[in-house]
Amino acid sequence: MRYLSTRGHADRKQFCEILLEGLAPDGGLYLPESYPQIGTEALTRLRDVWQSQGYAALAFEVLSLYIDDIPRDDLKALCLKTYTPEVFGTQAIVPLKPLQAAGHAQPDLYLEALSNGPTLAFKDMAMQLLGNLFEYELGRRGESLNILGATSGDTGSAAEYAMRGKAGVRVFMTSPNGRMSPFQQAQMFSLLDDNIHNIAIEGVFDDCQDLVKAVSNDLAFKRKYKIGTVNSINWARLLAQVVYYFAGYFQATQNNQEKVSFTVPSGNFGNVCAGHVARMMGLPIDRLVVATNENDVLDEFFKTGVYRVRGTNDTHETSSPSMDISKASNFERFVFDLLERDASKTQAIFGEGLSRLGYFDLSGDPRFVRAATVYGFDSGRSTHADRLKTIQQVFAHYGVVIDTHTADGVKVAKEHRNPQVPMVVLETALPIKFAATIVEALGRQPERPPQFDGIESLPKRVQVMKCDVDLIKAYIRQHCD
Ligand SMILES: *Cc1c(COP(=O)(O)O)cnc(C)c1O
């Protein structure tokens, strides 16, 4: 399997080459040259693998269709090491929970639990694999990597928990000092591993991002200190997420003639893009419903054909903060497919077009309607008031407490239900991570998994720093030499 750039660069690369890279050299995103097709027989075999051997074996089967430059035994060992009940909390790894009201013959919806990993958000599903892949590939090459990132919560902690103790990898993670929830701070700052560095910047999240950009733009420094990232455009992260669409499908159906729809709480379009890939492979997915919060860039596109990047003043701070985005960094992958893989058109609208105009408009393009008709996309948005109401209703009807992001999903899923087709909502975080809103909705604290008892009082290691590029470079130098 070889990979190409959405903007038409002539290079074709192998999986391990793009594993440690971010964007393609022309600024595009990597995609496989074609999607491997899963016919009826292969789907039956995969269902059998899932049922008899479980998630890790299923992950190996799916990943091996896309990765041919890691020996199969090694890839299998990496999957088995990653997806264990010890790390992900249950034997099923991604158990499906029916939401069924008393007296109803069928569940109204299903929740697919993706958030029982170490940081209680779905990003662990991909990041844990990435940690093991990085360690493997860096070891093979005899290289090392320093991951520099900026986080306001979920991504940074998922990256740190995935990379802790991994040979050849160091993490330097900046976050805005004092602005994460106490739980999130405790999660990150209580990691005492030598290769994990938490840097609390005196400023806001944008300051952290600007610092990371400034360091990465110093090409000499970047090369010398082998600075890399783990952001959501990484193809390996997306690929790891394809697997749980298969696992969700097998749990919601009895046989391969049935279809399933998924609703996905979305920000950067990484999660639902993995659903698109699964559907392109032939997994019988009916609809892929994109749920946004008040930051509705994506809902606007699917409704109107206009994609309009938001400015800083236009980006809302919401109670589902991991979906607070101004642009959706993975969206280019889907648009490339929608435009029948027309790289020059993709280059024109995402390259100069977007940076000059701040938007593009496909409403007049005959291919736009295919987003819904051929690719199965629907969308909806949710507000703080909807979120509170949904959390209350789900608790009242089913006795289940859901987090704020999952609530956005449930709200939108209800608007798109078809009684003939099971609807699976991806549960992207556990409520304890966003306790303040749960208390606002239900008047009580969410349940805390026992392994997190008392984490706020654990010893912490964090370096508070002024927002200054030279200071952070000096810090990196000091800890690499
Ligand atoms: C990151 C995140 C999302 C959004 O996922 P994308 O892949 O960026 O669309 C949704 N919910 C939670 C809890 C997250 O951490």
> Could you tell me if 480 and 214 are in contact, meaning their C-beta atoms sit under 8 angstroms apart?
no
Residue 338 domain flag: yes
CA 54/CA 48 separation, integer angstroms = 9
CA dihedral of 237, 238, 243, 247, whole degrees rounded to 10? 110
* pLDDT value of residue 216: 85
The CA 53 to ligand 1 mean position distance, Å, reads 28
Angle at 263 between CA 262 and CA 267, to 5 degrees: 130
pLDDT band for position 313 (50/70/90)?
confident
Catalytic residue among 13, 123, 166, 411: 123
* pLDDT value of residue 26: 92
Give mean pLDDT, residues 63-89: 98
Give mean pLDDT, residues 219-233: 88
Q: Say how many C-beta atoms besides its own lie within 10 A of residue 71's C-beta.
A: 9
* pLDDT value of residue 390: 98
Residue 327 domain flag: yes
Residue to mutate (ligand 1; options 111, 123, 327; most atoms within 8 A of CB):
123
Residue 354 domain flag: yes
* pLDDT value of residue 44: 98
* pLDDT value of residue 432: 92
Least confidently predicted of 63-67, 77-81, 94-98, 316-320: 316-320
CA dihedral of 324, 327, 332, 333, whole degrees rounded to 10? -10
Torsion sign, CA atoms 128, 431, 320, 297: positive
pLDDT band for position 153 (50/70/90)?
confident
Q: Say how many C-beta atoms besides its own lie within 10 A of residue 480's C-beta.
A: 14
pLDDT of 128 over the 80 cut: yes
CA 418/CA 423 separation, integer angstroms = 8
CA 94/CA 82 separation, integer angstroms = 13
Give mean pLDDT, residues 400-412: 97
Strands (E), 214-270: 227-228, 260-265
CA 300/CA 282 separation, integer angstroms = 27
What is the number of residues in the chain? 481
Residue 340 sits in a domain whose CATH number is 3.40.50.1100
Residue 480 domain flag: no
Residue 23 domain flag: no
> Could you tell me if 283 and 455 are in contact, meaning their C-beta atoms sit under 8 angstroms apart?
no
Q: At what angle do helices 235-252 and 55-64 cross, to 10 degrees?
A: 130
* pLDDT value of residue 353: 83
The CA 87 to ligand 1 mean position distance, Å, reads 20
Q: Is 433 in the pocket of ligand 1 (CB under 6 A)?
A: no
Q: Is 176 in the pocket of ligand 1 (CB under 6 A)?
A: no
Q: Is 268 in the pocket of ligand 1 (CB under 6 A)?
A: yes
Say whether 150 sits in a helix, a strand or coil. strand
Residue 25 domain flag: no
pLDDT of 217 over the 90 cut: no
Domain region containing 271: 96-118+236-442
Q: Is 151 in the pocket of ligand 1 (CB under 6 A)?
A: no
CA 38/CA 41 separation, integer angstroms = 8
Provide φ and ψ at 96, rounded to 5°: -95, 130
Provide the CA 411 distance to its chain's centre, in angstroms: 20
pLDDT of 481 over the 80 cut: no
- 165-207 tens-digit pLDDT: 999 999 999 999 988 888 889 999 999 999 999 999 998 888 8
Nearest atom within ligand 1 for CA of residue 325 = 8
pLDDT band for position 213 (50/70/90)?
confident
* pLDDT value of residue 103: 87
Annotated catalytic residue 81: no
* pLDDT value of residue 152: 79
> Could you tell me if 278 and 285 are in contact, meaning their C-beta atoms sit under 8 angstroms apart?
yes
Structure tokens, 142: 């005899």
The CA 356 to ligand 1 mean position distance, Å, reads 28
The CA 477 to ligand 1 mean position distance, Å, reads 32
Least confidently predicted of 8-12, 309-313, 411-415, 466-470: 309-313
Q: Is 119 in the pocket of ligand 1 (CB under 6 A)?
A: no
* pLDDT value of residue 257: 95
Residue 282 domain flag: yes
Helices (H), 349-453: 354-357, 370-373, 384-398, 404-415, 435-442
Q: Is 152 in the pocket of ligand 1 (CB under 6 A)?
A: no
Q: Is 405 in the pocket of ligand 1 (CB under 6 A)?
A: yes
- Split into its structural domains, the chain has a count of 1
Q: Say how many C-beta atoms besides its own lie within 10 A of residue 120's C-beta.
A: 26
The CA 325 to ligand 1 mean position distance, Å, reads 10
Residue 296 domain flag: yes
pLDDT of 312 over the 80 cut: no
- Residue type for position 55: Y
pLDDT band for position 311 (50/70/90)?
confident
pLDDT of 131 over the 90 cut: yes
Residues ≥6 apart with Cβ < 8 Å to 154: 119, 121, 123, 184, 322, 429, 433
